[in-house]
Amino acid sequence: MNANCTKLHLFIDGELGDAEAEAFRSHLPRCPACEEGLKDLLQLEMLAARALGGAALEAEAAAPAPAPAPEKPDTKVVPLRPWARRAYQAVIPLAMAACLSAIFVYRQAPADVPGVVFLEDMGTRGLEERLSHPRADHWRPYGPMRGSESSVEALPLRPLADLEEREDLRGVAAAYLLRGDLRQAEAFLEREKPSADRDNDLAVVALKQRSLTQALELLNRALRAEPRHPQALWNRGLVLRELDLLDRAADSFEQVAQLGEQGWSQEARQEAERLRGLYGKASK
């Protein structure tokens, strides 16, 4: 690391003088750490703006454009939104330095999303609930993380940007849910079109927040639309179990078992039998 490495944020914000900015542009292609840092900062800023400011941006885009002012010599056109201005200032000079392809955030043909986004390489699953996204619903034995454990890998930003570019909002939400970030997951699910899958995943958020009545309402709505929805049946069993309605919870898990899904059906049948045993003891 040299002195230029400490100026990345200033460069992104357009706060360097001409000489310092030129020195940083010369430094960037020779410094992999700064190049990676610039990619991540741009992706994080754009992703946050889309997730949390989508409605405001849409309203601004729909508003009538003001009449343009007469152009004066040497006038520079500055984008209205600060994050867009900073991204523009960062990307255009790098294009002049012949490294645009290395920092362009949204690629024309996104690469396949790596398994780390959905924690597919882990031997156990840390989430007892089931998510509707196929990449997040691969069966593995349930092994809840302890409070002191921190083995879950951090969420990489570039694949997350790829998912959002593909409008796979449930995929982004699933990646956050697998890491316990309920606020971000809910923000992306709220942008998703209504569906049984969306209701199921919102129910997982509600269940994690201990809003059991809301979770049950969402799951019942999903099952009215798709009565054999496997994730909704499974999660309904979890909610009913939390409500101490053990016999009804066992029924819901038994319905999952009858679907014949590899791994899930066996675990569902075992849970149904366990719950029926508990219900029988409680009834005596």
The domain that holds 180 is classified in CATH as 1.25.40.10
The pLDDT value recorded for residue 85 is 45
Clarify whether residues 97 and 196 are in a common domain.
no
Q: Give the integer Cα–Cα distance in Å for 275 and 281.
A: 10
- Domain boundary residue, one of 103, 133, 163: 103
- Claim to verify: residue 42 and residue 173 sit in the same structural domain: no
User: Residue 252 in contact with residue 240, Cβ under 8 Å?
Assistant: yes
> Residue 208 pLDDT more than 70?
yes
Query: Which tens digit of pLDDT belongs to each residue from 128-143?
Result: 999 999 999 999 999 8
User: What confidence tens digit (pLDDT) does each residue in 17-49 have?
Assistant: 777 877 777 677 667 777 777 767 666 656 655
Domain assignment present for residue 241? The answer is yes
Q: Please indicate, yes or no, whether residues 136 and 220 belong to a single structural domain of this protein.
A: yes
Looking at the predicted structure, is the pLDDT value of residue 251 above 50?
Answer: yes
270 falls within a domain: yes
Q: Give percent of the chain with pLDDT exceeding 90.
A: 49
66 is a domain residue: no
d(CA 110, CA 162): 6
65 located within any domain? no
Residue 84 has a pLDDT of 42
Provide the pLDDT confidence category of residue 3 given band limits of 50, 70 and 90: confident
Between 265 and 4, the more confident residue is: 265
DSSP of the chain: --GGGGGHHHHHTT-S-HHHHHHHHHHGGG-HHHHHHHHHHHHHHHHHHHHHHHHHHHHHHHSPPPPPPPP-TTPPP--SSHHHHHHHHHHHHHHHTT-HHHH-SS-SSPPPPPGGGGTTT-SSBS-SS--SSGGG-----B-PPPTT---SPPPPHHHHHHHHHTT-HHHHHHHHHHTT-HHHHHHHHHHSPP-HHHHHHHHHHHHHTT-HHHHHHHHHHHHHH-TT-HHHHHHHHHHHHHTT-HHHHHHHHHHHHTTT-TTHHHHHHHHHHHHHHHHHHHH-
Indicate if the pLDDT at residue 229 is higher than 60: yes
pLDDT digits (tens, 9 = 90+) for 154-196: 788 888 888 988 999 999 999 999 999 999 999 999 999 999 9
Asked if the model's pLDDT at residue 96 lies above 50, the reply is no
pLDDT value of residue 30:
66
Does 207 score more than 80 pLDDT? yes
pLDDT given at position 195? 97
pTM above 0.75, yes or no: no
Q: Are residues 123 and 27 in the same domain?
A: no
Q: Do the domain assignments include residue 248?
A: yes
Range of the domain at 195: 115-144+153-283
Verify that 217 and 136 share a domain, yes or no: yes
In a domain, 216, yes or no: yes
The mean of the pLDDT values for the chain is: 78
Q: What pLDDT digit, counting tens, does each position of 74-89 carry?
A: 434 333 344 444 444 4
What pLDDT, on a 0 to 100 scale, did the predictor assign at position 47?
60
The count of domains in the chain is: 2
* Average pLDDT of span 215-227: 98
- Establish if 70 belongs to a structural domain: no
Residue 73 in any domain: the answer is no
Between CA 73 and CA 78, with CA 76 as vertex, the angle to 5 degrees is: 155
Distances in Å between the alpha carbon of 80 and those of 43, 68, 69, 85, 88? 19, 13, 15, 7, 11
